[in-house]
Amino acid sequence: MLRNFKLVVAYDGADFHGWQVQPGLRTVQGLLSDAIARVTGDRVLPQGSGRTDAGVHALGQVVSVAISSPIPARGFLIALNDHLPNSIRVMKATEVSPDFHARKSASAKTYRYRIFRGDICPPFTARYVYHHPYPLDEEAMAIAAAKVIGEHDFTSFAAVDPERGREDVEVSNVRTLFCSNWQRHDSELIYTVRGSGFLQHMVRNLVGTFLLVGKGTIKPSQISDILAAEERSANPGATAPASGLCLVSVEY
Amino acid sequence: MLRNFKLVVAYDGADFHGWQVQPGLRTVQGLLSDAIARVTGDRVLPQGSGRTDAGVHALGQVVSVAISSPIPARGFLIALNDHLPNSIRVMKATEVSPDFHARKSASAKTYRYRIFRGDICPPFTARYVYHHPYPLDEEAMAIAAAKVIGEHDFTSFAAVDPERGREDVEVSNVRTLFCSNWQRHDSELIYTVRGSGFLQHMVRNLVGTFLLVGKGTIKPSQISDILAAEERSANPGATAPASGLCLVSVEY
């Protein structure tokens, strides 16, 4: 009989080509799959709550995996960490009911984006932030961030989808954001966003757009127009660099 | 006329083969020398306050370098950082008198060694600590650390010197430690040592020996005997891993 496990996984994204397994590349899913195989003998693909891009970090990525091995949860956690590089750590392992699925069962996720505002970014911080020492209207950015709270179609903030235009694919880009705000912590300007779910590149595109507001290129009030357009091309914001982004936690 | 500069440099040692320039290897001194050459046109070897080993970090390494370029200090700092990888940052650049030498003029240095005591070391911390989750008598370690304060011959804590036995080489291994203590900060046990100077591997060998005290293999009182022996072979302590060590500051 298969036993289903929920793993909470932290990783330093700078070391990997993102979450999703890719032949010949060092990915978090690939390394986790290898470690599970070595520990349990089961060759399975662990499911993440979502894919993180290359360079994106995780404090609390959640992973589900079904194994046949009778290994206890505590032993599974220790053995996995023994077989993983230091830049990936399984922080928690719990046996859960067979219907738990890391992605499908998720009710909310929280991401954090860190911008380092000082002139010189310390080498110990550089891997985990986007260094932007130039002037920004932080107040305008805070107003803009509040505009996306609630239920919206976020197509204007999603990566352009190669599937688009195919009539048979009907995917909703409607998501609900419960929280979206910027806060100052010393030299860092930190964006925190909690939502029901996120489209590909959505957080980085939100940050890229808020940066345009900070630079004065667009006004906070234009955020609503960009949302309403439901077109990525209606959004002049660039995708902010991956290094600043971290998946903080996933709720169920 | 040459102008002498004092640079305060921070680096993430995990990215480099140590401080000292070595042909074909990525070293801090080598990359700094390249950056100085590109910025000023002067091909010079910057002098560090001391060599740090591969994997050892620096918050405040001090470097002296004489250049002929008329570049102002502020511009020199910005241009150097533009030509260095993110894992090396020049934090400060000051023009100083011609007789200033980063190593010869130093009056004291402070090092810090971080041991992570928790069961699971977060991936964002792993590069900067030695992960040791096993039992340690931290009180005994604190007593042992105090035994090395003062002026001593530290041969028992130095790397075995290949020059030894050569009659013509007369080098003193006497150094003075002004401060040597262990402190707990949450999940970390941190050793701080401030001294007039340090022999090669000295801090890592002190930590390795204090770890033996923590494990109960040797008693704090034996530290004085080990010092008095003035022989590395009289010290059963191993050299603690480089990742936990950081050169915090250098005084003049």
Which residues of chain A lie closer than 8 angstroms to B121, CB-CB? Answer: 86, 89
Q: Which of A15, A124, A129, A245 is the best mutation test for B, with the most CBs of B within 10 A? A: A124
Say if the Cβ atoms of A120 and B89 lie within 8 Å.
yes
Per-residue buried b or exposed e for A200-229, using 16+ beta carbons within 10 Å of the residue's own CB: ebbbbbbbbbbbbbbeeebebebbeebbee
A63 token code pair? 């992973």
Tell me: the pLDDT tens digits for A191-218? 999 999 999 999 999 999 999 999 999 9
Residue B168, pLDDT above cutoff 90? no
> What CATH number corresponds to the domain at position B206?
3.30.70.660
* Same domain, yes or no: A86 and A14: yes
Q: What percentage of chain B exceeds 90 in pLDDT?
A: 95
C-beta separation of A117 from A132 below 8 A: yes
Residue A101 domain-assigned (yes or no): no
Only one residue has tokens 């700078």, namely A14
Q: Which of B15, B89, B247 is the best mutation test for A, with the most CBs of A within 10 A? A: B89
pLDDT of residue A119: 96
Average pLDDT over residues B101-116: 97
Average pLDDT over residues A221-241: 96
pLDDT of residue B172: 92
Confidence class for position B46, pLDDT limits 50, 70, 90: very high
Among B59, B76, B96, give the residue marking a domain's end. Answer: B96
Give the closest of B11, B120, B128 to A81, CB-based: B120
Residue B11 domain-assigned (yes or no): yes
* Same domain, yes or no: B25 and B145: no
User: How many C-beta neighbours within 10 Å does residue B75 have?
Assistant: 13
* Same domain, yes or no: B127 and B87: no
Average pLDDT over residues A42-70: 96
Query: Which one of A34, A42, A53, A153 is the catalytic residue?
Result: A53
Say if the Cβ atoms of B89 and A122 lie within 8 Å.
yes
How many independent structural domains does chain B possess? Answer: 2
Residue type, B39: V
A216 token code pair? 């004065």
Closest CA of chain B from A72, distance in Å: 17
Among B43, B70, B96, give the residue marking a domain's end. Answer: B96
Closest CA to A245 of A55, A9, A38, A79: A55
Distances (CA, A) of A122 to B12, B79, B244: 9, 16, 17
Largest CA distance in chain A: 59
Among B96, B130, B163, give the residue marking a domain's end. Answer: B96
Tell me: the pLDDT tens digits for A4-54? 999 999 999 999 999 999 999 999 999 999 999 999 999 999 999 999 999
> What CATH number corresponds to the domain at position A66?
3.30.70.580
Rounded Cα–Cα distance for residues A41 and A60 (Å): 26
Residue A103 domain-assigned (yes or no): no
pLDDT of residue A166: 52
Which residues of chain A lie closer than 8 angstroms to B89, CB-CB? Answer: 120-123, 126
Q: What is the DSSP string of A169-216?
A: -----EEEEEEEEEEEETTEEEEEEEES---TTHHHHHHHHHHHHHHT
Confidence class for position B146, pLDDT limits 50, 70, 90: very high
Residue A151 domain-assigned (yes or no): yes
pTM for the whole structure: 0.91
Q: What percentage of chain B exceeds 70 in pLDDT?
A: 96
Which residues of chain A lie closer than 8 angstroms to B91, CB-CB? Answer: 120, 122
Residues of the domain holding A165: 108-251
Residue B170, pLDDT above cutoff 70? no
